[in-house]
C-alpha cells in the first residue's frame, strides 16, 4: 500500500479505464464530448488501457451474414446524445452507405458492419487509449489514512509503468465459458474462436462437426459450418426438442429500456428474480425465428433429397469428449429419454456454452477488501454503477458489466451502453467540487449517492 509523498507521485488522471471494448469506447466518447463543451478547468483527463493490440469485439463470431440482435439506434451514443457525431448514422455517412442502408429497410445491420462502426468510433478517440497494455494490479494510495488515489500498474512491451487515478472504470467484458472439466484444444472449440479455428483448417476436408448449445451463437455456428463445409455433416446437440425463438416483441423489449434499469434497481430481491425468470427468453438460450425457420427448412429439404448433412440430436446431452491428437475427437451423446449412447467421431466439437462476466474485483488487490458485498457475497453496486466502498475510500470505482444482480438483464448488453456511460460521467462530475482535475474528492456512501 503506497503512502503519498509530495514530489514522487506520477501524473494523476481523473479517470483510468481498464479495457477498451464497446462500453469503454462509449465512455471515452462521452468524455470527449464533455471536454469539447467544457472549459479547460472542467475537462476530465482520462486514459484507457487495452491488452489487445487493436480494437476487437467478438472477432471470432463475425460471420459474414450474421446480423445484430439489437437496433442500430442503440449504438454507442444515440440514446444519450442523438446529435452526436459518433452515431451509427454518421458512420454510414462517412462510408457512403447512408442512403443504401435506408433503402435496406432494416433496423439490424450486419454484425461485420457494426464491428466496423465500433472500430471507426474507437479510432476517433484513440488518443485516450494505449493498446497492447495490460493492467496487472491496482494499489491504494493513502493520505492521512484515506485512499485518495489508486495506482494502476500497467505492463507493455516496454515493461511496467505506473498511472495514478482518482477514479477507475472497469470494462473488461466477458470470458468464454466451457463446461466443467472441458478444456479448449485444437479440436475442442468455444464459439468465440470459430472463425480463427476455421481459418486454421484451410485445405482440410472435415467430415463432421458437433455443435453443443441451443442459443443464437449455437444456431449461427450450425448454419455457418453447414454452409462453409459442403462435404461435412453438422450435428447439433441440445437438451431441448428444438431451438426456442427469442421474444423480441415491443412489450417484452421494455426490459431493456433505461427506465427498466431504475425499476429493477429499486425492486425487492424476489421481484428481481421474477423479472429475470420472466424475461430470460429475450436474451438467454434463444434464437432469432428467421434463423430457426431457415435451419428447419434446410433439414427438411435434405430429408426429401436423401442428402442429410444437418442432424439435430435433441433431448440429448454430450457426456464425453476424448481427443485423438491429430485425428479429431470421439464424442459420446446420450439421449435423456432412453439413455442410449451414440458415439460420434468428429473433426471438432464447438461449445456454444456462453460467457461469464469477469470478476470486477480481480485486479483490485488490497482495494477489493475495502469494497462492500451483499448478503449473498455479491459486489454492492450503486445506481450510478459505482462499487460501494468503505468510507475511507474517496476514489470512485465504476463497473461496466457484472451488474445483472443490481441493474438487470442489460448489464452486459449493448442496449443501455450509451445511457450507462452518461450516468457514470454524471456521477463522476457530480462528485467533483467544480473541476475535472478535482474529480472524486467527496466520500462514497456505497449506495450510488455521494456523501457531502
Specify which residues 373 forms β-bridges with.
379
Kindly state the helix (H) or strand (E) to which residue 158 belongs, with its residue range: none
Contacts of 249 (CB under 8 A, 6+ apart): none
Q: 368: helix, coil or strand?
A: helix
The predicted structure's pLDDT at residue 432: 63
Q: Residue 293: phi, psi to the nearest 5?
A: -65, -40
- Quote the pTM value: 0.91
* DSSP 8-state code for residue 275: H
Strands 443-444, 450-451: parallel, antiparallel or unpaired by DSSP?
Answer: antiparallel
pLDDT at 41: 83
What distance in Å separates the CA atoms of residue 419 and residue 392, rounded to the nearest whole number? 29
One digit per residue, the tens of pLDDT, for the chain of length 452 reads 444 444 456 789 999 999 999 999 999 999 999 999 998 888 999 999 999 999 999 999 999 999 999 999 999 999 999 999 999 999 999 999 999 999 999 999 999 999 999 999 999 999 999 999 999 999 999 988 899 999 999 999 999 999 999 999 999 989 999 999 999 999 999 999 999 999 999 888 999 999 999 999 999 999 999 999 999 999 999 999 999 999 999 999 999 999 999 999 999 999 999 999 999 999 989 999 999 999 999 999 999 999 999 999 999 999 999 988 767 999 999 999 999 999 999 999 999 999 998 888 888 999 999 999 999 999 999 999 999 999 999 999 999 999 999 999 988 789 999 999 999 999 999 876 443 444 433 333 333 333 32
Give residue 447's pLDDT. 36
**Measured distance CA(426)–CA(386) in Å, rounded:** 12
Confirm if 48 and 445 have CB atoms less than 8 A apart: no
The DSSP element (H or E) to which 24 belongs, if any, is helix 22-37
Q: What are phi and psi of 347, to 5 degrees?
A: -75, -30
Q: Is 333 in a helix, a strand, or coil?
A: strand
Supply the pLDDT for residue 435: 39
Helix, coil or strand: residue 110: strand
SS3 letters across 172-215: CCEEECCCCCCCCCCCEEEHHHHHHHHHCCCCCCCCEEEEECCC
Cα–Cα distance measured from residue 378 to residue 396, given in angstroms and rounded to the nearest whole number: 18
In terms of residues, how long is the chain? Answer: 452
Amino acid at each position: 500500500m503506497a503512502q503519498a509523498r509530495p514530489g514522487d507521485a506520477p501524473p494523476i488522471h481523473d479517470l483510468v479505464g481498464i479495457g477498451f471494448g464497446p462500453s469503454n469506447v462509449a465512455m471515452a466518447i462521452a468524455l470527449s464530448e464533455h471536454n469539447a463543451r467544457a472549459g479547460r478547468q472542467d475537462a476530465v483527463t482520462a486514459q484507457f488501457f487495452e491488452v489487445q493490440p487493436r480494437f476487437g469485439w467478438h472477432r471470432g463470431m463475425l460471420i459474414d451474414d450474421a446480423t445484430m440482435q439489437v437496433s442500430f439506434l442503440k449504438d454507442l451514443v444515440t440514446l444519450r446524445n442523438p446529435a452526436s457525431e459518433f452515431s451509427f448514422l454518421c458512420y454510414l455517412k462517412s462510408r457512403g452507405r447512408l442512403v443504401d442502408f435506408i433503402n435496406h429497410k432494416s433496423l439490424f445491420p450486419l454484425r461485420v458492419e457494426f464491428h466496423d462502426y465500433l472500430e471507426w468510433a474507437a479510432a476517433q478517440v484513440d488518443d485516450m487509449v494505449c493498446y497492447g497494455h495490460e493492467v496487472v494490479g491496482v494499489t491504494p494510495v493513502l493520505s492521512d489514512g484515506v485512499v485518495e488515489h489508486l495506482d494502476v500498474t500497467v505492463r507493455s512491451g516496454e515493461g511496467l509503468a505506473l498511472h495514478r487515478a482518482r477514479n477507475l472504470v472497469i470494462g473488461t467484458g466477458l470470458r468464454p465459458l466451457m463446461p466443467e472439466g472441458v478444456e479448449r484444444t485444437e479440436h475442442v472449440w468455444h464459439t468465440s474462436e470459430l472463425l480463427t479455428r476455421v481459418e486454421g483448417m484451410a485445405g482440410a476436408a472435415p467430415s463432421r462437426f458437433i455443435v453443443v448449445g441451443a442459443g443464437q451463437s449455437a444456431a449461427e455456428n450450425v448454419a455457418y459450418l453447414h454452409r462453409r463445409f459442403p462435404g461435412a455433416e453438422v450435428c447439433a446437440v441440445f437438451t431441448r426438442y428444438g431451438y426456442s425463438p427469442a421474444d423480441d416483441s415491443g412489450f417484452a423489449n421494455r426490459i431493456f429500456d433505461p427506465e427498466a434499469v431504475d425499476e429493477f434497481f429499486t425492486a425487492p430481491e424476489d421481484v428481481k428474480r421474477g423479472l429475470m425468470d420472466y424475461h430470460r427468453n429475450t436474451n438467454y438460450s434463444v434464437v432469432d425465428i428467421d434463423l430457426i425457420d431457415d435451419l428447419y427448412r434446410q433439414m427438411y429439404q435434405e430429408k426429401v433429397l436423401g442428402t442429410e448433412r444437418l442432424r439435430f440430436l435433441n433431448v440429448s446431452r454430450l457426456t464425453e469428449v476424448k481427443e485423438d491428437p491429430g485425428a479429431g475427437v470421439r464424442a459420446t451423446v446420450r439421449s435423456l429419454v432412453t439413455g442410449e449412447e451414440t458415439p460420434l467421431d468428429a473433426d471438432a466439437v464447438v461449445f456454444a456454452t456462453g460467457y461469464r462476466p469477469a470478476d470486477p474485483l480481480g485486479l483490485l488487490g488490497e482495494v477489493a477488501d475495502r469494497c462492500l458485498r451483499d448478503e449473498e457475497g455479491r459486489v454492492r453496486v450503486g445506481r450510478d454503477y459505482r462499487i460501494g466502498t468503505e468510507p475511507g475510500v474517496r476514489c470512485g470505482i465504476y463497473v461496466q458489466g457484472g451488474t445483472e444482480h443490481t441493474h438487470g438483464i442489460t448489464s452486459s448488453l449493448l442496449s443501455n451502453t450509451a445511457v450507462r456511460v452518461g450516468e457514470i460521467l454524471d456521477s463522476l462530475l457530480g462528485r467533483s467540487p467544480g473541476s475535472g482535475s478535482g474529480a472524486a474528492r467527496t466520500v462514497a456512501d456505497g449506495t450510488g449517492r455521494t456523501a457531502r
